[in-house]
Amino acid sequence: MAMYTDADWKLQKIKIKTKSEIRCVMGLIDDGANLRGKHLGSPMSEADCEIAFARGVKNVKIFTKTPKGSNRMSKLEMKWTTALKYHRKYENMTKSGSCLK
């Protein structure tokens, strides 16, 4: 979802690591949307963005149980930094390739 540019980020005080994580999460969501048939364009309407997000968020994979066996909250309810952290753990545990190594 190409809504932000580097010029937009210069106006905000965001740490470099956070900016990198946002790009990675959005890359995962964009890739997931493309895999599921929603091709992204610019500009996009609000409805197009919602459809792309709904299709793309399936690409962010996390375990549904905590190590102690409790249910984990939905990835839609998590902060994006938390969802990315759990996605990295999922990728490392399943040994699949990713930009998150």
- Evaluate whether 86 touches 63 at the Cβ level (below 8 Å): yes
Per-residue pLDDT of the chain (101 residues; tens, 9 = 90+): 455 555 655 555 556 567 777 777 888 888 888 888 887 777 878 888 888 888 888 888 888 888 888 898 888 888 888 888 888 888 888 865 544 44
Give the SS3 label for residue 3. coil
pTM above 0.75, yes or no: no
CA torsion sign for 88, 71, 73, 38 is positive
Q: How far is CA 36 from the centre of its chain?
A: 15
Q: DSSP states of 63-88 as a string? A: -SB-TTSPBPPPTTTS-HHHHHHHHH
